[in-house]
Amino acid sequence: MNRCIDAGREGCPCALAEAGNCLVCSRLSGGTCDDCSWQGTCIYTLFEQNGRRIIRERQNRLLPIHEIRAYGPDFSVFVLKADKGFCQKARTAGAFVFVKPPEDHDWFGAPVSVLKSEPERGLVHLAVCACGPKTRRILQESESLSVRGVYYSALSGQGGLLTDPEETFVFAKGVAIAPLRNYLDGGSRYRRQLRNLHLFADLAKTGMDFFRDYFGDLEAGSLEVRDFAREGLCSLDRLDHLEAQCLGRSRINVFALTSPYYADQIQRAVGEEKTILRPTEGNMCCGEGICGACTYNDKNGNVIRRCKSRA
């Protein structure tokens, strides 16, 4: 199920095509057109028509800070002003951007999932939790931020979600809950994947005020606030129900919007054969698949670039 998330989007062909490592076009990676299974506009033709150069790089753009919502000394939401087109792209499930202070070098860019996008108002909300030098520098800004994107692969497992589940289980811890908002705001194509929602949320690092501001429209009956470390991921009867549903191959979706530690626990509970939605693991440093920080080898020895993967 691994496919390039950027294929056919604005900016394709990208720098990987220029380097002879296109993930989709066999001709641009040393093969022939006979090996091609791409059904969109021919990437090789686009590349040739553009003088064998990449179409358009994602550029850093300076976005004014409209508002800062501080939910604690180490956690804030930045509401940025942006054009409508940028906001529409940012409303895609799995969207993220690289953010840094305006004067800093590109290596200070930190990947941040889009929390909320409002195209009609020209606003993008980014939740930043201090976890290292990059994010701490961002939290010091008050006038504007340099933003590069939009990128689309903050979540893995999207291709395995059912469009008409009987139930949906969402486990969310801290700021990792951010991508859920795009599923709620993205119209019927996303909302139907959240049918009969059961949300288990650990709010220790974000607080109830943040949750109320951004997820207060959820039905109270669908929510169970937990301390994952002390109380477990969910109540035992819920876990038994989840395991039984997965073993019975019922039509359910499972979201693990947590750190890899808890996502692995959830994966073990539902079984390895069940695809769950989870944050993409790997170090997102360039976002273009060039630096190699996000790569890993699958069981067949293929090199997977997580920042480009639609799997």
Residue 94 has pLDDT above 50, yes or no: yes
**131 and 160 part of one domain:** no
Among residues 96, 116, 151, the one where a domain terminates is 151
- Tell me what the mean pLDDT of segment 50-57 comes to: 78
- Residue 269 shares a structural domain with residue 159: yes
pLDDT band at 242 (very low <50, low <70, confident <90, very high): confident
pLDDT of res. 237: 72
Q: Are residues 257 and 176 in the same domain?
A: yes
Number of H helices and number of E strands within the chain?
10, 14
pLDDT of residue 1: 46
pLDDT digits (tens, 9 = 90+) for 189-224: 888 999 989 999 999 999 999 999 999 999 878 898
Same domain, 87 and 181: no
3-class SS of residue 47: helix
Q: Give me the mean pLDDT over the 119-147 stretch.
A: 95
Residue 41 pLDDT more than 90? Answer: no
Q: Residue 9 has what pLDDT? A: 81
The count of other CB atoms within 10 Å of the CB of residue 85 is 12
Any idea what the CATH number is for the domain that residue 213 is in? 3.40.50
Same domain for 270 and 167: yes
Beta-strand pair 223-225/197-202: parallel
Contact predicate 88/148, CB 8 Å: no
Same domain flag for 224 and 274: yes
Choosing from 123, 151, 179, the residue where a domain stops is 151
What does the pLDDT read at residue 247? 66
Beta strands in 130-259 (DSSP E): 144-151, 155-156, 167-173, 197-202, 223-225, 252-257
Name the DSSP letter for residue 158.
G
Segments forming the whole domain that contains residue 43: 15-57+283-308
Residues 181 and 241 placed together within one structural domain of the fold: yes
How many structural domains is the chain composed of? 3
192: Cα within 13 Å, side-chain hemisphere? 6
Same domain? 175 vs 243: yes
In one-letter notation, the amino acid at residue 191 is: R
Whether 28 and 68 map to the same domain: the answer is: no
- pLDDT value at position 53? 78
For 14-30, the pLDDT digits (tens) are 888 888 888 888 888 88
If asked whether residues 48 and 64 sit together in one domain, one would say no
Q: What is the mean pLDDT of residues 233-247?
A: 73
Has residue 8 been placed in a domain?
A: no
In terms of domains, do 272 and 290 share one?
no
Provide the pLDDT confidence category of residue 5 given band limits of 50, 70 and 90.
confident
205 burial (CB, 10 Å; 0-12 / 13-18 / 19+) is middle
Boundary of a domain, candidates 151, 167, 183: 151
Q: What pLDDT is recorded for position 210?
A: 96
Average pLDDT over residues 277-292: 82
148-194 pLDDT, tens digit each: 989 998 898 888 899 889 889 999 999 999 999 999 998 888 889 99
Instruction: Let me know if residue 4 belongs to a domain.
Output: no
